[in-house]
Amino acid sequence: MNTAYKSSLEVCKRHADRLAWAMSWLRGKFPLSPNTLQDMEDTELAVLDQFSTRFSKLQDAMGAKLFPAVLELTKEQGEFSAFLDKLYRLEKMGAISSAEHWLLLREMRNEFSHDYPDDPAIQSAILNKAYNLAGDLLSTLNQIEIFAAKYLGSNAGRDL
């Protein structure tokens, strides 16, 4: 199996597992309101932190490491120096559903980098948006793993 792909996939799956756990733990809490957010206990806030951190790390790891590894795995011809070129190629090949939707997920990750500790309305709006998009992020990881398996042969699932 391609080492770069395998290594990237393992990192992504670790983030995905922890993101899915946080989503499951938080399931009854969403949608958040500013008041709900302000009234949360420390444990709940820690899980929200886990959620936002894993969302960001998964999105970043997929874009920075997994996507280029998949392009290498497929032996795609051409120069893909711009990230957008990589996204459109992955979309055209069927590895991801939509380059535009991926950019929305990336934008969501960027929103987490801004801290609004004194504005629970903004915080809850960002978290609600991310919670709604997190399933798409996990689905994209699953889709790209299924796509890459075609290039790895019949032993793909056994190596992980």
pLDDT digits (tens, 9 = 90+) for 4-50: 999 999 999 999 999 999 999 999 999 999 999 999 999 999 999 99
Question: Model-level pTM greater than 0.85?
Answer: yes
Listed by start position, the domains of the chain span 3-159
CA-closest candidate to residue 48, choices 157, 144, 136, 126: 126
Assign 1 a pLDDT band (cuts: 50, 70, 90). Answer: low
Written as six digits, the tokens of 48 are 């929200």
CB 127 within 8 A of CB 48: yes
Residue 50 DSSP class = H
- Give the separation between CA 37 and CA 124, rounded to whole angstroms: 7
Tokens read off for 159: 């190596």
